[in-house]
């Protein structure tokens, strides 16, 4: 099935399921103890402004920010590796990395075992990075994304669950995720 057929087939069926899935869900907030989410942020010097805007936004959402570069003019490849290792170790729930285009950070982050990084350029792609690819790292470029859009993209990624909006395809997506992990493991030997 090509991408166009996949999109046509799923969007109609999924729209109704998404609404139904949220109906009737209530949470007893008093009995639930929430763990503070931890997100690693890292940037090269080209993208410090965007990183700062996202860091402030995450703090307003009561998300703990772990700084991977401390604004120290660290090269993108060192920042991406450090952030990705922090996520892979379980010390953080995910990472958002920033450079000129997001591509360099994405390439390096994906070299770390256990990382699924996606370079995103829109709110749509950020949400789908989690829903379809179960990305635990997203990257974006300061040449492409402004502060407001960057914050909205991070929200879409954080607020989306794996397979959300694609419930009829959950088995396929689980299988795809497993297959990609196996391909990754095979090439790390």
Calpha distance 128→163 (Å, rounded)? 9
**List 99, 106, 151, 186, catalytic entry:** 99
- Facing residues of 119 across strands? 139
Catalytic, 99? Answer yes
Q: Are 94 and 100 in contact (CB under 8 A)?
A: no
Tell me if 184 sits within 8 A of 113, measured CB to CB.
yes
Q: What's the sign of the alpha-carbon dihedral 21, 27, 32, 35?
A: positive
Catalytic residue set: 99
């Amino acid at each position: 099935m090509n991408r166009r057929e996949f999109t046509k087939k799923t969007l109609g069926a999924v729209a109704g399921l998404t609404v139904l899935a949220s109906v009737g869900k209530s949470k007893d907030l008093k009995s639930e103890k929430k763990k503070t989410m931890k997100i690693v942020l890292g940037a090269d010097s080209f993208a410090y402004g965007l990183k700062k805007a996202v860091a402030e936004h995450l703090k307003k959402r009561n998300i703990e920010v772990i700084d991977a570069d401390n604004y120290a003019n660290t090269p993108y490849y060192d920042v991406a590796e450090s952030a990705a290792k922090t996520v892979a170790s379980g010390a953080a729930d995910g990472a958002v990395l920033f450079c000129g285009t997001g591509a360099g950070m994405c390439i390096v982050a994906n070299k770390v075992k256990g990382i699924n990084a996606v370079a995103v350029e829109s709110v749509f792609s950020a949400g789908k990075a989690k829903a379809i690819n179960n990305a635990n790292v997203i990257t974006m470029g300061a040449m492409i994304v402004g502060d407001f859009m960057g914050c909205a993209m991070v929200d879409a990624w954080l607020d989306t669950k794996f397979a959300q909006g694609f419930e009829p395809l959950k088995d396929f997506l689980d299988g795809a995720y497993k297959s990609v992990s196996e391909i990754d493991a095979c090439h790390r030997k």
